[in-house]
Structure 1
Amino acid sequence: MREFIVENLTNTEALSVTVILMNNVIALIVAFFIMFTYKISYAGPAYSRKFNISIGSITIITAMIMSIISNNIALSLGMVGALSIIRFRTAVKDVRDATYIFWAIAAGIGCGVSQYALIVIGSAFLLLFLIITRKGFTSCNKLLVVQGKPDCLHKTEAAVDTFFSGKAHVSMRNVTEGSFELVYSIGEGILYKAAKENQMDISEKLIKIDGVKRVNIVDQKDELSQ
C-alpha cells in the first residue's frame, strides 16, 4: 500500500509528443469555437474583443496545465497550492461572461486529459443552449418616459391607460412641486400593436397634451436593470 501511494505521488511519466500536439490542437480548435460562440451570442451593449481573446487563451493555458500535471498527484497538489495564492480582482461586467470563463476552463481540462468526445459534445450542446436563450428569453421591453407639469398628470395617466388598454405598467412615478416624471414598462409587441390600432405613436398623442414637456421611448435591456 505504501509503495502504491509513493508511486502515484511521484509518477513522472511524460506524455508523448503526439499526445501533447493532439491536446493542443484540439484545445486551439475549441478555443476558437468558444470565441465564435461568445461573439454571436453576446447581447450586451459593449462587446469586448480583448475579453473574447482572453477566453480562448484560458482554454489553451488550462490544457497546458493539465498536461503538466498529468497523473502526478504531488505535482497537482503543488499546482493547487500555487494557484490558490493568486487573486483575480478584475470585475466581470456581464454575469454571463462567467459562463464562458468556466466553459473555457472545462474545455481546457478536457483537452489536457484527452477527453475530446466529451468536450466536443458538451460544447455543441452549450452552443445550442446559449443561442436559444439569447433569442428566446432576452428582454424586449420598452421604457416610456413622460415629463411635464403636475397639472396634466392625471390626464397623462388616463391617456396612457387608454392607449395601451391598461397593459402599461408604471415602473416609476415621481411628482414634485413644479414637475412630474412617469416611467412605464411596455412590451415591444404591445407598443407596436397599440400604435397600429390608434394609427399614431404614443409619443405623438402625449406631446399634444397641454403641459407635457418631453416624451421618450428607450430600450429596456437586462444590462440596464443590473
Structure 2
Amino acid sequence: MKEMLLKYLQESNVSISIEQVLLNFLVSIILSIVIYLAYRYSHSKAVYSQRFNVSLAMLTIITTMVMNVIGNNIALSLGMVGALSIVRFRTAIKDPRDSVYIFWCIVVGICCGVSEYTIAAVGSAILFIFLLIFGHIKSNDRYLLVIHASTEVEEEIEKAILVFYDGEANMRVKNTTSERVEYIYELSQRIINSSKDKGNINKKLYELDGVERVNLVCQNEDINR
C-alpha cells in the first residue's frame, strides 16, 4: 500500500512542458477576450465598469497560472488551498450578473490550466451567446413620488393621487407636523406608463394651493456602482 501511494505521488509530480504551458496561456488569453467582449456588450453604459471588465480577464489568466503551478501535484495543491484560504474579498457585488462572470473566469482558467480546451471553448461559446441575448434584461424600475405640502390640502392630495393612478399607487410614508405633510408613494414602471395619457401628475398637484414640492425618484439598483 505504501509503495503504491509513493509511486502515485512520484508520477503525479511530473511537470508539464514549456510548450504546454504556453498553449494553456494562449487559450486562456483568447477565452478571456471572449469574456471581456461578452461583459462589454451585455451591460449598458450606466452599468458597465471597464476596470471590473479588465479584472475579469486578469482573473482568467491568474487562475490558469495557479493550475499550471499545481498540475498533478497533490501536496502542492493542498498547500495552495491553504495559502489561498487566507485571501478575503471585500468588493461588493452590486450586479448579480457580476458573480456569474467571476465564476465563468475561474472555471475557464481551471479548464485551460488542465488543458481541457474543448470544455472551456464550448462552454464559453454557449455562455457568450446566452449572455448577449439575455444580458440586457433589467429589473423593473421602482419610482418614489415625494410630495411636500401644507396640511390643509391633505385630502385633496390623496384624492388626486387616487384618481390619477386609479388607486394603484401605494402610500409608503406619510410624515406630518402641525403645518406640513410629506407623502411618499411607490410607483412601478407599468403604473407610470398606464397613466401617461392622463397628463403630468406634477401639474395636477401644483394646481392645488399648498403644494410646495413634488419629486419623482427612480430606484434602480444598476446605478449604484
Please give the alpha-carbon distance, in whole angstroms, between the structure 2 residues aligned to 1:180 and 1:130: 46
Q: For residues 71 and 177 of structure 1, do their structure 2 counterparts lie closer, same or farther at Cα, with a shift above 3 Å needed?
A: same
Please give the alpha-carbon distance, in whole angstroms, between the structure 1 residues aligned to 2:134 and 2:143: 20
Q: For residues 42 and 32 of structure 1, do their structure 2 counterparts lie closer, same or farther at Cα, with a shift above 3 Å needed?
A: same
Partner residue, 2:5: 5
Q: Percent identity?
A: 37
Q: For residues 42 and 2 of structure 1, do their structure 2 counterparts lie closer, same or farther at Cα, with a shift above 3 Å needed?
A: same
3-state SS of the aligned residue for 1:214? strand
The Cα shift of 1:42 comes to: 3.4
Please give the alpha-carbon distance, in whole angstroms, between the structure 1 residues aligned to 2:132 and 2:216: 28
The Cα shift of 1:23 comes to: 1.4
Partner residue, 2:181: 180
Residue 103 (str. 1) matches residue 100 (str. 2) = no
Is the CA contact (8 Å cut-off) linking 1:55 and 1:101 kept in structure 2? yes
3-state SS of the aligned residue for 1:218? strand
Please give the alpha-carbon distance, in whole angstroms, between the structure 1 residues aligned to 2:72 and 2:223: 47
Cα deviation code 1:146-174 (max 9, x no counterpart): 11112212211111111111121223222
Please give the alpha-carbon distance, in whole angstroms, between the structure 2 residues aligned to 1:174 and 1:41: 41
Please give the alpha-carbon distance, in whole angstroms, between the structure 2 residues aligned to 1:58 and 1:217: 40
Is the CA contact (8 Å cut-off) linking 2:170 and 2:185 kept in structure 1? yes
TM-score, normalising length: structure 2 = 0.85
3-state SS of the aligned residue for 2:195? helix
3-state SS of the aligned residue for 1:59? helix
Superposed CA RMSD in Å reads 2.5
Please give the alpha-carbon distance, in whole angstroms, between the structure 2 residues aligned to 1:102 and 1:204: 49
Please give the alpha-carbon distance, in whole angstroms, between the structure 2 residues aligned to 1:143 and 1:134: 26
Is the CA contact (8 Å cut-off) linking 1:173 and 1:183 kept in structure 2? yes
Please give the alpha-carbon distance, in whole angstroms, between the structure 1 residues aligned to 2:183 and 2:163: 16
Partner residue, 1:21: 22
Residue 167 (str. 1) matches residue 193 (str. 2) = no
Residue 215 (str. 1) matches residue 218 (str. 2) = no
Partner residue, 1:144: 145
Please give the alpha-carbon distance, in whole angstroms, between the structure 1 residues aligned to 2:177 and 2:122: 59
Amino acid at match of 1:92: A
Q: Which 10-residue stretch deviates more, 112-121 or 70-79?
A: 112-121
Is the CA contact (8 Å cut-off) linking 1:195 and 1:202 kept in structure 2? no
Amino acid at match of 1:195: K
Paired residues in the alignment total: 222
The Cα shift of 1:128 comes to: 4.7
TM-score, normalising length: structure 1 = 0.85
Please give the alpha-carbon distance, in whole angstroms, between the structure 1 residues aligned to 2:126 and 2:50: 24
Q: For residues 224 and 14 of structure 1, do their structure 2 counterparts lie closer, same or farther at Cα, with a shift above 3 Å needed?
A: closer
The Cα shift of 1:120 comes to: 2.8
Amino acid at match of 1:72: N
Ranges in structure 1 where 5+ consecutive residues have no aligned partner: none
Q: For residues 210 and 67 of structure 1, do their structure 2 counterparts lie closer, same or farther at Cα, with a shift above 3 Å needed?
A: same
Ranges in structure 2 where 5+ consecutive residues have no aligned partner: none
Partner residue, 2:35: 34
Q: For residues 162 and 53 of structure 1, do their structure 2 counterparts lie closer, same or farther at Cα, with a shift above 3 Å needed?
A: same
The Cα shift of 1:137 comes to: 4.8
